[in-house]
Structure 1
Amino acid sequence: MPFPSIRLAGLILATALGLPALAATETPAPAQAQTRDAVAAYEAGHFDMALKGFAEAAQKGNRLAQFNYAMMLLRGEGTPAKPQEALVWLRRAADNQMTHAQFTLGDLHERGGLVPKSLEEANRWYERAAKGGHTQAQMALATNYFTGRGVPLDYGQAFAWYTKAAKGGDGSAQYIVASYYERGYPGIVERDVEQAKIWYARAAAHGDPGALAKLRSLLEESLRAKSQM
């Protein structure tokens, strides 16, 4: 069956220096130069050369190469598609603490098809990636806690993970955190209009017109309140 490209398209173009969402504790990556050359070959359209380079670097333990090799096998780039072999290398990259591979496994389990659909398994992978600082995983986990998908409904956990994603620069998370502060949730967060303004402003800086409208509304509300004092 065709592999779903949503969320995964273009990830192989990550630089050989590493993805921004890798685990916090880093050691020099094995086969770094070989992986960098394979990325350059891929970007130049030399898929056969890229596949060979990624395969060799993956065998040496480079997690970016493991992930990119898995993606090429999955998509059938430079080779006939080999989804089961791709899953083996994707899992190796995930076990090698590559947070984007962990997030991708979560996404696959949430969608089903290539692997058995399991929200519980998806959330386990999302949590591993989220703890490593992967903002998409933090958002996915937060949303699942907010809706109770594969985990117990928990607005507190949702807020905690939305906040981490917001601090990581995710505009949608920033809007959601702002709305938490604007309304206040007993036992989770006190109403704090000033914090709401800060987070709406950050979301607005990402080009969110709804956040900008909310920010203007709160600023006007504050000005009215001051004028009546």
Structure 2
Amino acid sequence: MPPVSPRHLNTASAEDLAEILRGPPERAAPWIRTAAEGGVTEAQAVFGQMLLDGHGVPVDREQAVYWFKRAADANHPMALNMLGQCHRHGWGVPANLVLAAYWYRLAAQQGLDWGMYNYATALALGEGVPTDREQALEWFQRAAAAGHAKSINIVGGFHEDGWVVPADKDLAFDHYRRAAEAGDFRGQFNYARLLIERGEIEAALPWLDKLPATATTPFLAKAAAFLQKARDPRVRAKAALLHAQAPNPSTPA
């Protein structure tokens, strides 16, 4: 049984909700909804995600937005970020990059790593806000300092390509290593790529072996195409294996 009764869900803690969610989602959903209706901010954010994903309840993106907004009104960081996602992708609301960037910024200002990452991405690409790579780098760096693996990798890209900072392959290498060790598949590829460039083939190969576990099919295809041009036959052999696992990429990498 869950640790709290329905009548006490209005005082449920995040730990209580986590315990409830360890059970079957169909069983947890009514409890989470009761807590959300009782004004528990964490439950409102969780229930919004359940509705968005169809986890234990039918997919209802409009209702997901409603519950995210309820939680966002209490400055719940992930709810703020998810409102950004909903507006960016048109989930339950018309797609609107300006509103997406607005919600991402609020989530970032609350200290959420994903909010920082998403707002930085909007700034870097000029999506809903004027392009500002310097400010984007600042937010990526803040997220990276919080251990956000995707941001660590992107900061590495800034240093490798010399975007708003002097090009520095050593700093890029260090960031890619950290992103790889944190489990980011792009970081794993970039770290392996620079290891290969340095002639450290044996050190690079295990990182290439990790890619299929988390990388998207389109990314595997792009990685394979890049690695097929390598001089070392061991790298080309890895490229063939990656290509075999990504024969028909059809979605963004």
Common fold: TM-score over 0.5: yes
Structure 2 match to 1:131: 109
Query: 1:213 deviation in Å?
Result: 2.5
Query: 1:204 deviation in Å?
Result: 2.8
Q: Deviations over 1:70-120 (max 9, x none)?
A: 334556666666554443222111122221111111111011151121000
The answer to whether 1:32 aligns with 2:12 is yes
3-state SS in 2 of match to 1:71: helix
Structure 2 match to 1:213: 193
Counterpart residue type for residue 47 of structure 1: E
- TM-score of the pair, normalised by structure 2: 0.62
Specify every segment of 5 or more residues in structure 1 that has no aligned partner in the other structure, as ranges. Answer: 1-15, 17-29, 221-229
Identity level (%): 31
Q: Distance in 1 between matches of 2:41 and 2:61?
A: 18
Given candidates 170, 173, 184, the residue that maps to 1:197 is 173
Conserved 8 A contact 1:106-1:125? yes
Given candidates 65, 69, 72, the residue that maps to 1:94 is 72
Structure 1 match to 2:26: 47
Query: 1:165 deviation in Å?
Result: 2.3
Query: 1:64 deviation in Å?
Result: 1.4
**CA RMSD, 1 decimal:** 3.1
- TM-score of the pair, normalised by structure 1: 0.67
Q: Distance in 1 between matches of 2:60 and 2:170?
A: 53
Q: How many pairs align?
A: 188
Structure 1 match to 2:130: 152
3-state SS in 1 of match to 2:118: helix
Q: Deviations over 1:43-88 (max 9, x none)?
A: 322635x334223332443221111233345566666665544432
Conserved 8 A contact 1:106-1:122? yes
Structure 2 match to 1:10: none
Q: Distance in 1 between matches of 2:35 and 2:172?
A: 47
Conserved 8 A contact 1:200-1:215? no
Query: 1:211 deviation in Å?
Result: 1.9
Structure 2 match to 1:108: 86
CA separation of 1:132 and 1:218: change in aligned 2, threshold 3 A: farther
Q: Distance in 2 between matches of 1:32 and 1:178?
A: 41
Conserved 8 A contact 1:102-1:128? yes
Specify every segment of 5 or more residues in structure 2 that has no aligned partner in the other structure, as ranges. Answer: 4-9, 201-253
